[in-house]
Amino acid sequence: MTRDEILSRYAAGRGDFQYANLQGRDLRGVYLAFADLSGANLSGANLAFANLAWVDLSGANLSGANLAFAKLAGVNLDGADLTGASLHKANIIDATLPKGFKL
């Protein structure tokens, strides 16, 4: 799925991206608030400055993803793989983080 396909689908009111393969995609600055990305493969994706507020990322693979400056308020990251992910200056207020995750 390309960046344009993702944004078009989201704009059409279809925010269900469960288990989508978005590995390595450039999604800088996208607005996907309240979308369902549970179980999605976002490893190596560039999500810098993205608005992912209240998104379900439970069980998602975010290893090596760039989440710098992303809005992650209220996001569900329970069970997500954040190995090597960059959360530099990300807003994680009210986020549910994986058990044992240390900032």
Under 8 Å between Cβ of 30 and 3: yes
Q: What is the pLDDT of residue 77?
A: 95
Q: What is the pLDDT of residue 93?
A: 92
Distance CA 66, CA 79 (A): 18
Q: What is the pLDDT of residue 102?
A: 66
**Residue 71, strand partner residues:** 51, 91
Total structural domains within the chain: 1
CA distances from 33 to 7, 37, 61, 103 (A): 12, 11, 18, 23
Structural domain including 25 reads 1-103
pLDDT tens string for the chain (103 positions)? 888 999 999 999 999 999 999 999 999 999 999 999 999 999 999 999 999 999 999 999 999 999 999 999 999 999 999 999 999 999 999 999 887 776 6
- Helical ranges in the chain per DSSP H: 3-11
- CATH number assigned to the domain comprising residue 25: 2.160.20.80
